[in-house]
Structure 1
Amino acid sequence: MFQNIIDAFTGDGDGNKKLKCGGGECKKVKGTVVLMKKNVLDFSDFQASLLDRVHELLGQRVSLQLVSAVNTDPSENDLKGKLGKPAYLEEWITSITPLAAGETAFKVTFDWDEEIGVPGAFLIRNNHHSEFYLKTVTLEDVPGQGRVHFVCNSWVYPAKHYSKDRIFFTNQTYMPHETPAALRKYREEELVNLRGNGEGELKEWDRVYDYAYYNDLGDPDEGPKYVRPVLGGSSEYPYPRRGRTGRAATKTDPNTESRQPLLMSLDIYVPRDERFGHLKMSDFLAYALKSVAQFIKPELEALCDETPNEFDSFDDVLKLYEGGFELPDGPLLDNLKKNIPLEMLKEIFRTDGENLFQYPKPQVIQDNHSAWRTDEEFGREMLAGVNPVLIRRLEEFPPKSKLNSKQYGDQNSTITAEHIKNNLDGLTIDKAIEKNRMFILDHHDALMPYLRRINTTTTKTYASRTLLFLKDDGTLKPLVIELSLPHDKGDEYGAISKVYTPAEHGVEGSMWQLAKAYVGVNDSGYHQLISHFLNTHAVSEPFVIATNRQLSVLHPIYKLLEPHFRDTMNINALARQTLINAGGILESTVYPAKYAMEMSSVIYKNWNFTEQALPEDLKKRGVAIEDPKAPHGVRLLIKDYPYAVDGLEIWFAIKEWVKDYCSFYYKDDGMIQKDSELQLWWKEVREEGHGDLKDATWWPKMQTREDLIDSCTIIIWVASALHAAVNFGQYPYAGYLPNRPTVSRRFMPKEGSPEYEELKSNPDKAFLKTITAQLQTLLGISLIEILSRHSSDEVYLGQRDTPDWTADKEPLNAFEKFGKKLADIEDRMFDMNKDAKLKNRVGPVKMPYTLLVPTSEGGLTGRGIPNSNLTPSTSIGGGRLLYVQLAPQELILSTTHDVLSNSTPP
């Protein structure tokens, strides 16, 4: 019946369109439109399908008009390309053939106008009730052209939301000055639309990319407890910019943006094409995480206050992975059952509502339950763990502080030669330093200025320095750990420090294990705040915004970088809403508490874009030097440094690909200087996106092809490989909380105290009472396990989700070469993991280093480099939800394992 009605509008009942042109039939050009309807994508909108059908029947259809790339319309004063006649999507009601992931292919038939000549774009007008996700449009047998392809990947809202019809360009690539005259105005107008006018609150259908400070973390209207400084826009608290939402200021503070109520947190604004959740199961995950925030965290906190449950032994911890954990009856369980559907309970908490939590065994304890406690593994994880980016070579002994001595007194290390001289394999300290055998993991200067305030919260921790010695077999031997507190008399009196040396037995051995735990707490917090969120998520967002504002989709650099930006803005927005905000999950679970983001702002002062290049980072940390004879001209001083060894291979593969690509479009430096869009892009990145550091002298000038290649390589590296290295090892290493605790709840016990006697009589229980509490552990590792998974359809480095992403053959060939090179690198990584001489690649825990292996299958693999910070996830398979579209692997930002991360994809 539906088809008969449609035919009344469009055809002869046989699906044949018989519009006449003069005395004969017009030539037709057929096309295929691939899209995903809203009712397929949206978890809750069940009216979309029905209302869209009604609109279709009433003639309110989806139209497309081809835009000429060669001929302008003489009636248009602005020389825009000539428009063809509207063509309509066919059989909207009856087309039910799914492709992949909810995609549907529709036919469209254009009346060919010879004056169109070469189609360069098309306008689309959506007269339906609801939006849809337009993926691709492909025209066949275009006269003189053959096949013409459009890569769209964008939400198209009903026409009432736009002042002009949406435009999509072909997959051709044009420099600004090379753009055909008929398309130039369209190109310019599209960029103007994307920049917006800087006014008003932005709505979901707006496509505006603009900048704002991190001024939405606090909520002063809720009281002084929730006041937080604005990050960005000042020398005191600099920070990268985030996407503007345009929400009104709070009533209490005009400089603080009002926050979305938690119940509305699904609706936080980012440009719609930046929001993940292209399948309804992503919304399922969103609501699950939101439920965690609303119902579970408050109950958990109340329960922990009333009954501070502890693990009594490491065997109790292991039971989580060997049978599960019985959750006691009470408000927490009642709220779980009441507010979260059974399927969510099963997936989020691995429970069927019958009180049982169950977890897969993290890789770090799969082979051996106690090898994580060895000194060798403690040192190895600085080179091959989830935060392998901080260790540096020791260049002076004892270590000196860079803190202002007038403000903080003497903060230099109190470690003496007596502490370490007998553990240097016969070398003197000076000789060990000269031979590049001494290294340090330094968490002192970053933490000390905040430590007095931090320890007024529930946290009880220290600033730490850890010295290590590089042995002949390539492994690192911990020599000493220094734990420091601010002086009782005041900051200006310096630090009070105590030094601990390795011991295996007795109370000294127990205190050494505790000292390593305090280092782990510091490293875990630094990892989440700096290595992960600041140095991958936050610093990338300005590049996403500037690219969309200043580089047309026709620009070659847009096409190069776009896959590496997917979903970054959205995940960052959700983090601001529920994770890094005042009173949010991160403040509840990492040691800096309310000072967490403020601390990251202070550390951002020393961020340097050029030092994000892996070779520069390694040289800055003194773990590598320039050597013309070494591969790629970089020689590692720790030869068996898995992150650096694998990372350099990936880095130079990316750089070679970027060089091949950029050299195709830019034949000389002059073309860089004359590229108007490129110059405006780079100016905006520096002066707006990272505006607090705009006067830094280290910014590349973007005057040479080398500047462009280096800069694009850094951007891609940070968003893909660096992020993978610090993200996907979280559950494998930190899913077993004792290995990487995130909170310490009491200080090192003093001799003669009850805590000291407990340490002597039951050291394991004393250890577990010092780190994260039991119920926080349960919920934290529940989410880490889910969020550390890959989907089965993830798009990895060296891959694209659309093969026709450009029409230029040489870049496509270069990209294919890049993919093959990554495959070769992957094979070499596995071969190295089999080499028994490379002890750091596997270690005492028998856990091969795979975090920079380029590809992965779906699941909890501890390997794989997705193209962007957050890449699409999966749907349902094998009876288990493998969540769709995105990486709330990232939300992991929250903290590796304490209470649930809760973020809510739109």
Structure 2
Amino acid sequence: MKDSNLRRDGHGSRRLISGRVVIEHSPGLSGPGKSATVQIYSSTQIDPNTRKGKLSEKACLKKGKSSKKDGTKITTYKIKLHVEPGFGNPGAFVIENNHKYKFFLQSATLVIPGNKVIHFDCRSWVYPIKDTNTGRVFFSNTCYLPNQTPAGLVELRKEELVSLRGDGTGERKEWDRIYDYDVYDDLGNPENVRPVLGGSDAYPYPRRGRTGRPASKSETINLDLYVPADERCSPKKLSEFIANAIQATAHFLLPEEKSSSHDSNSFESFEEIRELYTDNRGKAIRGASVMEKVKKVVSAELFKEVTRKSEYDTKFPLPQIIKANQFAWKLDEEFGRQMLAGTNPTRIHCLREFPPRGTLTESYIQTSDIEDDLDGLSFEQAMIQWRIYVLDHHDYLLPFLRKMYSEGVCPCASRTLLFLRNDSTLKPLAIELSYPGSYDNIDGTKTMVVLPDKEGTLQALWQLARAHVAVNDSAYHQLISHWLHTHAVVEPFIIATRRQLSVMHPVHRLLDPHFKDTMHINALARTVLINAGGILEKTLFTGKFSMELSSELYKEWRFDEQALPSDLIRRCMALDESESPIGAHLLFQDYPYGLDGLDVWLAIQTWVGDFCDIFYEDDASVKSDSEIQAWWSEIRNVGHGDKRNETWWCQMTTKADLKQTLTTLIWITSALHASVNFGQYTYTGYPPNRPTRCRKFVPEEGTMEFAEFLKDPDKYFLNMLPDRFQATLGIALMEVLSRHTSDEVYLGQRPTSEWIDNKEVKQRFEKFNECLREIEKRILERNGDPELRNRRGPAKVPYKLLYPDATKVQNVLGITAKGIPNSVSI
């Protein structure tokens, strides 16, 4: 019986290796066909001249069969290669693109004699060789630690990593695959200079990816700025992102729709704010004028994608916070609940001493004024029982207040005390506000304490004080909890992973889905969001000091405290329980972020532990892993180089070090980011609930402002809120950031079942997936438990921000307030 994989017509006993290559290319552009060639490298047989694996003959891509999926053209080509009998098994291939267009290589599959299949999960752009001057190497889905690399792949592995590091010079081109570090020197422009963030004691910051473009950019928005091609969002995703942005800002295009009452910068009534929304959206408009602007800042290819949607609605969707009960946001129970289950549940902490340790100014809160609200306990007794909580936005803001005041806002630093009631709801006790005062004050500030009241003037004053607290919390959430603690701190990990861990390294394979699109999203943020004059400066009370404040608070950041159990223990929201698998026990169970988060943390921790146990035998195997050691050193000394001398970094000498580091990193990129991102529209989409800046202070009795307030408290409150433009711009931003896109891949999922050639890993991954499905069931049960009042609250908003999978929702796209994407991808 003849072996079907042998050819004897002119090839003797040479082996035939067949395969297929799956390529994605843009509509209207031809595929590469025979202008692309493939050669395979032996994993075991070395060419003595190159010291690399033996290289086969070239084979052209043939017999392409095309199909369309969601508007994307996909072509599958066949290849056939003949190799000598002693060639060994393929471990890599090199593809040359002699076509005039780039293409996206999805995957390749080789079938060798004996019908053994070797998979290559490529998912990368291949640019014309006229631009790159070299072919592109891809490695199989089999993972190896550095000292286990097959002989034929050792030099290829080293060469690939060297090429990815570059030489740190020149401006990067689209086709470059170079990963290098830089400081944040591109946020300002000649008209609006901003401090350089990173590289100094005054302004420390995580590093970003280097582009090589000039440090001071012009006012022109550029959405095609450089990030390595493999880090770019797909054209489809980017078009969705831009279309969502146009959708969110559509009503700015309709000045004729504004009534005469809109001549004022302020909203005249709550009903006027309500008019911004509709359950069914508003009438459709064509955004031709906006399209002309978009055309100037994106590529022709991307513009074609964006213009597929030509009509946009004029109204915002109704935020959940006012959907079931439009007045619930005014209730103190809901105010406290959002600190535990809202969009920023990571700031509140249990107070263990009063006044709080490290305060710059003496607290003006008198415990005697609040003891009537402690269910018969003294303040000291309540603290001993771990029932006094604080939302603290005070000391870090004090040095900035006067500078911000000069910019036309009314900034306050706040400290809010709360009491944990027997039903686990938080009862606000007092709000302490410090604001810029006369210069004859020692610290240049004035302070007032506002106490809650259920009716009349005092109740209205309390609402004003709460607004200032929400403003503080909104800015901290956006600049620190969201941008700094997820987006910014992760980027150095991505760069180091690409530079120091081969794609054959198991840890690279583990982390890769958790880095999807992050560098591109961060680059877009530097262009339109966090830059001088960008959206955050226009909407947050911190204004042009926003990123300076972010840098100041990076001084407090510690990687080891980003592990959820460590964070909860540090904030005294949980007790240290080192003997348990999780390591922490919540003080009270009705803390939705903490309870659901610990479930997800444990699932990630178990999966990471299982994964590492497959590849690492003992501590010595971690310590001897040259790539892991170089990776960890570069993260500490370069990527987070401003913190290189901190003693809290682990030494990466044990399996426990590696497991904890990887678990923490995956937690940050997936669950932590989901918890602080996808609930933004739900809560901040309604400005009265979470305003982002205040234009008035809480008035002092005996002043003209107080008389104005007494005359019409609601009008004073509305005039305190951001003006019409700032409010609607803020709502638009919240809508864009809170949307899921069509190509999200969620925790416990991979884009292909062939992401790794290791059956044991796949079995453990399936176990991880099953664990997440069980967590989903528990979350739904908790949300239906009437005893857990913080799960829904007076606003009837169920806590689903840590519900792992959004794909079970009928309409995955849009604002679902659920689902944990693998990566910081929006």
- The normalised TM-score by structure 2 is 0.92
Q: 1:171 to 1:145 in 2, by over 3 A?
A: farther
Secondary structure of the 2:719 match is helix
Q: State whether structure 2 residue 10 is matched by structure 1 residue 22.
A: yes
Once the two structures are TM-superposed, the CA of residue 495 in structure 1 deviates from its matched residue by 3.5
Alignment partner, residue 223 of structure 2:
266
Q: State whether structure 2 residue 153 is matched by structure 1 residue 183.
A: yes
Aligned match for 2:399, one of 449, 467, 476:
449
Once the two structures are TM-superposed, the CA of residue 176 in structure 1 deviates from its matched residue by 0.6
The 1-side partners of 2:519 and 2:603 are apart by 26
Q: 1:641 to 1:804 in 2, by over 3 A?
A: same
Aligned match for 1:31, one of 19, 36, 55:
19
Q: State whether structure 2 residue 194 is matched by structure 1 residue 228.
A: yes
Alignment partner, residue 519 of structure 2:
569
Aligned match for 1:241, one of 199, 207, 212:
207
Secondary structure of the 2:110 match is strand
Q: 1:635 to 1:287 in 2, by over 3 A?
A: closer
Counterpart mapping for 1:888-899 below 5 A: none
The 2-side partners of 1:865 and 1:288 are apart by 20
Counterpart mapping for 1:516-595 below 5 A: 516-595=466-545
Once the two structures are TM-superposed, the CA of residue 586 in structure 1 deviates from its matched residue by 1.0
Check whether the contact 1:398–1:416 (CA below 8 A) recurs between aligned residues. Answer: no
Counterpart mapping for 1:4-83 below 5 A: 22=10, 28-37=16-25, 39-40=26-27, 48-49=29-30, 61-74=35-48, 76=49, 78-83=50-55
Secondary structure of the 1:744 match is coil
Check whether the contact 2:233–2:517 (CA below 8 A) recurs between aligned residues. Answer: yes
Alignment partner, residue 215 of structure 1:
185
Alignment partner, residue 384 of structure 1:
341
Once the two structures are TM-superposed, the CA of residue 99 in structure 1 deviates from its matched residue by 4.7
Check whether the contact 1:383–1:642 (CA below 8 A) recurs between aligned residues. Answer: yes
Q: 1:340 to 1:246 in 2, by over 3 A?
A: closer
The 2-side partners of 1:663 and 1:273 are apart by 29
The 1-side partners of 2:292 and 2:133 are apart by 45
Once the two structures are TM-superposed, the CA of residue 489 in structure 1 deviates from its matched residue by 1.7
Alignment partner, residue 275 of structure 2:
319
Aligned match for 1:868, one of 805, 809, 823:
823
Q: State whether structure 2 residue 56 is matched by structure 1 residue 84.
A: yes
Check whether the contact 1:295–1:335 (CA below 8 A) recurs between aligned residues. Answer: no
Residue 62 of structure 2 aligns with an amino acid whose one-letter code is E
Aligned match for 1:813, one of 754, 763, 768:
763
Check whether the contact 2:43–2:151 (CA below 8 A) recurs between aligned residues. Answer: yes
Alignment partner, residue 734 of structure 2:
784
Alignment partner, residue 450 of structure 2:
500
The 2-side partners of 1:180 and 1:804 are apart by 21
Q: 1:516 to 1:631 in 2, by over 3 A?
A: farther
Q: 1:665 to 1:782 in 2, by over 3 A?
A: same
1:416-440 CA distances to partner (integer Å, 9 max, x unpaired)?
1232111111001110100101010
Secondary structure of the 1:611 match is helix
The 1-side partners of 2:758 and 2:311 are apart by 53
Secondary structure of the 1:737 match is coil
Aligned match for 1:102, one of 64, 68, 72:
72
Check whether the contact 2:487–2:824 (CA below 8 A) recurs between aligned residues. Answer: yes
Greater displacement, 761-770 / 374-383: 761-770
Once the two structures are TM-superposed, the CA of residue 290 in structure 1 deviates from its matched residue by 8.5
Check whether the contact 1:464–1:484 (CA below 8 A) recurs between aligned residues. Answer: yes
Greater displacement, 104-113 / 368-377: 104-113
Q: State whether structure 2 residue 412 is matched by structure 1 residue 462.
A: yes
Secondary structure of the 1:664 match is helix
Alignment partner, residue 745 of structure 2:
795
Once the two structures are TM-superposed, the CA of residue 544 in structure 1 deviates from its matched residue by 0.1
Q: 1:25 to 1:105 in 2, by over 3 A?
A: farther
- Identity, in percent, stands at 47
Residue 92 of structure 2 aligns with an amino acid whose one-letter code is A
The 1-side partners of 2:70 and 2:14 are apart by 34
Residue 227 of structure 1 aligns with an amino acid whose one-letter code is V
RMSD: 3.1
Alignment partner, residue 369 of structure 1:
326
Alignment partner, residue 14 of structure 1:
none
Alignment partner, residue 116 of structure 1:
87
Check whether the contact 1:295–1:339 (CA below 8 A) recurs between aligned residues. Answer: no
The 2-side partners of 1:110 and 1:841 are apart by 59
Number of residue pairs matched? 804
Counterpart mapping for 1:384-783 below 5 A: 384-403=341-360, 411-489=361-439, 492-493=442-443, 495-627=445-577, 632-753=582-703, 755-783=705-733
Once the two structures are TM-superposed, the CA of residue 633 in structure 1 deviates from its matched residue by 4.0
1:7-43 CA distances to partner (integer Å, 9 max, x unpaired)?
xxxxxxxxxx999852769654332211211x23xxx
Check whether the contact 2:141–2:504 (CA below 8 A) recurs between aligned residues. Answer: yes
The 1-side partners of 2:280 and 2:749 are apart by 39
Once the two structures are TM-superposed, the CA of residue 137 in structure 1 deviates from its matched residue by 0.4
The 2-side partners of 1:158 and 1:494 are apart by 62
Aligned match for 1:310, one of 266, 269, 277:
266
Q: 1:176 to 1:365 in 2, by over 3 A?
A: same
Q: 1:290 to 1:569 in 2, by over 3 A?
A: farther
Alignment partner, residue 878 of structure 1:
none
Alignment partner, residue 830 of structure 1:
780
Greater displacement, 766-775 / 377-386: 766-775
The 1-side partners of 2:243 and 2:616 are apart by 47
Check whether the contact 2:565–2:582 (CA below 8 A) recurs between aligned residues. Answer: no
Residue 80 of structure 1 aligns with an amino acid whose one-letter code is K
The 2-side partners of 1:175 and 1:412 are apart by 56
1:444-487 CA distances to partner (integer Å, 9 max, x unpaired)?
01211101101111211200000000001111000000110244
Q: 1:374 to 1:291 in 2, by over 3 A?
A: closer
Once the two structures are TM-superposed, the CA of residue 161 in structure 1 deviates from its matched residue by 2.0
Secondary structure of the 1:817 match is helix
Once the two structures are TM-superposed, the CA of residue 791 in structure 1 deviates from its matched residue by 3.2
The 2-side partners of 1:645 and 1:774 are apart by 38
Secondary structure of the 2:78 match is strand
1:358-394 CA distances to partner (integer Å, 9 max, x unpaired)?
2221111111010111000000000000000000111
Greater displacement, 237-246 / 635-644: 635-644
Gaps of 5+ in 2: 296-302
- The normalised TM-score by structure 1 is 0.84
Q: 1:325 to 1:776 in 2, by over 3 A?
A: farther
Check whether the contact 2:287–2:311 (CA below 8 A) recurs between aligned residues. Answer: no
Q: 1:643 to 1:728 in 2, by over 3 A?
A: same
Check whether the contact 2:680–2:734 (CA below 8 A) recurs between aligned residues. Answer: yes
Check whether the contact 1:506–1:760 (CA below 8 A) recurs between aligned residues. Answer: no
Secondary structure of the 1:860 match is coil
Check whether the contact 2:479–2:546 (CA below 8 A) recurs between aligned residues. Answer: yes
Counterpart mapping for 1:158-197 below 5 A: 158-197=128-167
Q: 1:802 to 1:714 in 2, by over 3 A?
A: same
Q: 1:627 to 1:216 in 2, by over 3 A?
A: same
1:689-714 CA distances to partner (integer Å, 9 max, x unpaired)?
00000000000100000000000001
Gaps of 5+ in 1: 1-16, 41-45, 249-256, 404-410, 871-886, 888-906
Q: 1:365 to 1:652 in 2, by over 3 A?
A: same
Residue 137 of structure 1 aligns with an amino acid whose one-letter code is A
Q: 1:419 to 1:145 in 2, by over 3 A?
A: farther
Once the two structures are TM-superposed, the CA of residue 499 in structure 1 deviates from its matched residue by 0.4
Check whether the contact 1:175–1:555 (CA below 8 A) recurs between aligned residues. Answer: yes
Once the two structures are TM-superposed, the CA of residue 752 in structure 1 deviates from its matched residue by 4.6
Once the two structures are TM-superposed, the CA of residue 310 in structure 1 deviates from its matched residue by 2.3
